[in-house]
Structure 1
Amino acid sequence: MEELYTLDREVGRGSYGVVFEGHMAKTGHRVAIKRLPCSNPECIELYLQELWAMRATAKNHVNVIALHSCLLQTGSRSLKPLKPGKLPLRLVESVLKGSVVNPQKGRRSKTLSNTPRRTNSASRLQDKTNTVLGRKKSEEGRKSTGSDSLTPQRPPSRAMKRSAQRELEEEDEEEVEQAGSLRCLALWLVMEYCDGGDLNQYLLSRPPDADRNHSVVLQLCSAVAFLHALGITHRDLKPDNVLVCVTPKGPVIKVADFGLSKMSGAVANGEQCRQHFSSTCGSDFYMAPEVWGGLSYTAQADIFSLGVMFWAVLERITFVEEGTTQEQLGTYVCKGRWLMPLGEDLWENADLQLCIPMKFKRAPPLPPPPGPSVCALLLDMLALNPDARPSADQLEARVRSALRDDSH
C-alpha cells in the first residue's frame, strides 16, 4: 500500500491528540488525520480502544465516522500502515506492563538500517506547516550526522517486481515486530472529513429549524443502535463528539471519538449481553446518575447521555462550562447561580422532578418546545433507573412515533 497524505491545517486540539485537515495527494480527496502521541500507557490504552472500535464499525453505517486507514509512526519522518485486524505489539505490551516499552538498545533491524524499502513502501505524511513530523529537527540531525536512516528514500533499483518486493516487505515487517526494535512514537488515524464541524458549531451557528433538529435526533438514534448492536458502548456521547457533514439534502450526523468506548462481543439468546462497567468516565453534563454514583453500569448510560443531548437540541438549551467561553448544547439543573449536571443532581436527589420543556435558559432565537409525547420520551430516557430507559434498538421507533403524535 502506498498512499501519500498532505496535512493542510490544524482543525482541532485536545488533551490526547491533534486533528488536521488533509488530503490524498493522488486523488485530492479530503480527509481528517488525527495524531495520537504514544507517550504513556494510559493514553495508549485509549488509542487502542478507539482504533479497535473504529475498525469494528468500519464503513458500515452512514452516521458513524469512517476510518480509512491507520498508520504507525516509527521515526521522525517514517510511518508504516497497520494491517487490518492487527495491533502494534509494542503498544499492547506498554499497556499490559503499565509503562512505555522502548526498543532494546543496540538492536537495529536490517530493514531500517540498510534497506530503504520499508519507509518507501509505507504511507508517509507531508506536513505543509512543519509542526508535526519535526522537519526542522530532521534537517538539523542530517547536518550533524550526515544521513538519516529513518527518512523515506527512493529505492536504489525499481527493477524488482512489485509482487516480490511486497512479499519481502511483509517478511521484514514481521521480523522487526518480532525483534521488538520498532519505536512507536504515535498513531495516525485517517478518517473521513466532516465540513460542518461538531454539533455545537453546526446547530448554534444557524437559526433553529424543527425539521433539522428532528433529523439530527433520528440519526443519532440510528448510530447508537448500530453501535450497541455491535457491543460497543460509547461512554462519552456529547455534542463535541458528534460531527456533521453538510449535504444538499441536509446534515449527515457522524458519531466520533471512541477513546472511552468499550466493546463486548458476547451474545446470548440472540441478544447482546448487558456487560457492566465500573470506570467513572465521560463528560460531567452528559454522564448518567449511576456513573456519577460510582456504581456498575451498562450501555444504558449512553441512553441517558442521548436524552441530555436530545432535550438540548430540541429546545436549544445551552450553557458555558466553567473555565471556558464556548457555548455548548446541554441540559442542567440550576442551583442558584450555579449549574448542576442532571445526572449528578438525580443521583443526589432521587425524587427530582425534571421540568420538560425547560421554558427558560434557552438560547435565542427559540424553537417551538417539544410536544407532550416527546417530553414523555425524554423523561423515560433520563430516568434514574437504567432499566426504565428505552434500549437503543427501541429508541428510533419511539422517537418517530412521538414526533408523529405531536405533529397531529
Structure 2
Amino acid sequence: MEELYTLEREVGRGSYGVVFEGHMAKTGQRVAIKRLPCSNPECIELYLQELWAMRATAMNHVNVIALHSCLLQTGPRTLKPLNPGKVPQRLVESVLKGRVAGAAQSQEGDDAQRGSSPAPGLQDRTNSLQGKTKSSASDSTTPHRPQNRVRKRPAPREEEEPQTPTHCLALWLVMEYCDGGDLNRYLLSRPPDCTRNRSVVGQLCSAVAFLHSLGITHRDLKPDNVLVCVTPGGPVVKVADFGLSKMSEGPVDGELTRQHYSSTCGSDFYMAPEVWGGLTYTAQADIFSLGVMFWAVLERITFLEEGAKQEQLGAYVCRGRWLMPLGEALWENANLQLCIPTKFKRASPLPPPPGAAMSTLLLNMLASDPEARPLADQLETRVSAALKEDAR
C-alpha cells in the first residue's frame, strides 16, 4: 500500500493510546495521528464513541477538532482506510460481548498491541519517544489536590448496528494538528491577557453550542481536552477527546425532551453535582463543566495534583488543607454560596477579576439545579453581553 503518513515524534501518551505528530506524505500537511490499540472491549467502546462523534462534526466548526480519516490496522503489516460511515463489525461485537472478537493469540497480535512497528502507510521517524512538554514549575502557593481522590470513570456500553466485518488490532485517527498544546499548557505558559481569556471563553461557548445542536453531549469538558492552534490573530481553541461523549437522535437544547444519561463519568473538578450524586443528567452537565473552566480561565485559578508537576486550571472549594471539586461540594450542600470573584489565593501574576455581570452568569452556569443553567444555544450571547456590560 502506498505510504500515506509519516510519524515524526510522540506528543502525547495516555491510558488509552498514543498521539504522534506527523504529516501527509503527498501534501506535507501536518497532522496529529492517534493510535488506539483494540485490546479490550472497554477501550474499544471509547474509541467507537470518539469516532462517531468526530464523524458527526464533519469538520464543520472551527472550534471542534477535525477528523481527516480513520485507518484500520488488521495486522502488524496491514493498514487500510476505513470508509466514511462504516464501523468494523468485529469492534462492535467486542463491545456487545464483553470480549475482543476474533482476537488472535499469535505473536502477530502481541506485536500489534505493543505497537512495535508501524504498518505500511505509516513511515516511523520517531527515534526517541517524547511525552508532552510540561509547563514551567508551579508557584509554591498553588493549592494541591490529593492524588488518591482523582477518578476517571468509563462510559457504559451502548449497542450499535454492526456493519463491515473486519478484525482490527488498532485504530489510527488522523486529525488536525494543534501546535499550542492543551489549554492548560497554553494559558499557564503565558502572562495573563484579558483579551485572550475572553476570546477563549467565547470560542468554547460556540463549540459547545455547535455540539449540542448536533445532539452530542461531551461529558468530559476540561482544559486538558481543549487544544490550541496558534495563529497570527490569536489562539484558536479546539474541543477534542470525545471518548466519553454520547449522541442523541436530535438536538439536546430547545423545547424537545433532552436525552438523560445515568453513568457517572468525567473528571472530578469539572463534574456537575448531579453526576457526582449518581443521578440521571442531561447535556446541562456540560454547561456546569464550562462554568468551572470559565471561572478558572478568567481568574487564573489553578491547582496541582499530588505528585504532578503541571498546574491545572480549575475552580474548587477549600475544605481545610484539602480541595473539594465544586460539583462534589454542591452535591453535599445545594445551598452553598460560591464566592465569585474568588477570595482564595490565585496563580500569580493575577488578571483582573470578572465583573458583576460575568460573575452572575458564572453563578448561573454553576447552579445546583441543572434547569437553572443557561442552555448552550443561549450561552454565547449571554457571555458576550456580560463581558460588554462589565467593560463599561
Q: TM-score, normalised by structure 2?
A: 0.85
Residues 338-396 of structure 1, C-alpha deviations (whole Å, 9 max, x = no match): 00000000000112100000033211110000000000000000000000000000000
Amino acid at match of 2:20: F
Q: Any conservation in 1 of the 2:49–2:242 contact (CA below 8 Å)?
A: yes
Equivalent residues of 2:17, 2:35 under 8 A apart: yes
Secondary structure class of the residue paired with 2:75: coil
Task: Spell out the pairing of 1:252-401 with structure 2 (5 A cutoff).
Answer: 252-266=236-250, 271=255, 273-401=257-385
Q: CA deviation at 1:58?
A: 1.1
RMSD over aligned Cα atoms = 2.1
Map of 2:23 onto structure 1 = 23
Aligned to 2:121: 124
Report % sequence identity: 80
Counterpart of 1:310, as a letter, is F
CA distance in 1, matches of 2:105, 2:175: 35
CA contact (8 A) 1:231 1:272 kept: no
For 1:99-178, list aligned pairs within 5 A. Answer: 99-102=99-102, 124-129=121-126
Equivalent position SS for 1:71: strand
Give the superposition deviation at 1:324.
1.8
Tell me by how many angstroms 1:299 deviates: 0.1
- Residue-by-residue CA offset, 1:212-257 (whole Å, 9 max, x unaligned): 0000000000000000000000000000000000000000010000
SS of 2:380 mapped into structure 1: helix
- What is aligned with 2:222? 238
Question: Number of residues paired by the alignment?
Answer: 347
SS at match of 1:72: strand
Any idea what SS the aligned residue of 1:54 has?
helix
Q: Deviations over 1:68-126 (max 9, x none)?
A: 000010111221110000001110111111100116899xxxxxxxxxxxxxxx97111
Q: Relative to total residues, which structure has the larger helix share, 1 or 2? A: 1
Distance 2:283 2:120 in 1: 37
Instruction: Say which structure, 1 or 2, has more relative contact order (CA 8 Å, 6+ apart).
Output: 2
Q: CA deviation at 1:273?
A: 3.7
Alpha carbons 1:30, 1:192 under 8 Å: kept: yes
Q: Evaluate the alpha carbon distance shift between residue 343 and residue 81 of structure 1 in structure 2; reply closer, same or farther with a 3 A threshold.
A: same
The whole-number CA distance in structure 2 between the counterparts of 1:366 and 1:189 is 38
Q: Output the TM-score relative to the length of structure 1.
A: 0.82
Structure-2 separation of matches of 1:203 and 1:230: 29
**Which amino acid is 1:277 matched to?**
Y
> Structure 1, unaligned stretches of length 5 or more?
107-121, 133-176
Larger Rg: 1
Aligned match of 2:33:
33
CA 1:130/1:184 → structure 2, altered by over 3 Å: closer, same or farther? Answer: farther
Decide whether the 8 Å contact of 2:260 with 2:281 is kept in 1: yes
1:159-198 alignment to 2 at 5 Å? 182-198=166-182
